[in-house]
Amino acid sequence: MPFWGLQKQLGIDVDSFLLRQSMPQPHGQAAVCHAFEREWVECGHGLGQTRARRECQLEYEDFMECMKRTKLTQRLRTILEQRDRMIKQGKYTPPEHHMGKEEPRP
């Protein structure tokens, strides 16, 4: 425990970044990544920090992917680049409703 509670005095809580899924949620529903966080915490419970990093790496990666969606955004970026390449080569033409040429609806 620190001598000065700097986080408390400034009104910030840095420690809850990773464990924010366990906090009370509105309407009593579990958070989206709660299951991944729970697996990660249960895996590392009772282990030392160094050993937990080594043994619980898969659980931690799953949890971080659920939180940050880095693999998903990389995949979507690759798909969009491929679509743009195909449009440039003339192998693919997007539908009219994707190009903004659709007739207005009443």
Please tell me what DSSP assigns to residue 16.
G
**pLDDT tens readout for residues 4-23:** 666 667 776 665 555 555 66
Helices (H) and strands (E) in the chain, counts: 6, 0
Q: Which pLDDT tens digit goes with each residue over 42-68? A: 998 888 888 888 999 999 999 999 989
Task: Please state, in angstroms and rounded to a whole number, the distance separating the CA atoms of residues 74 and 68.
Answer: 11
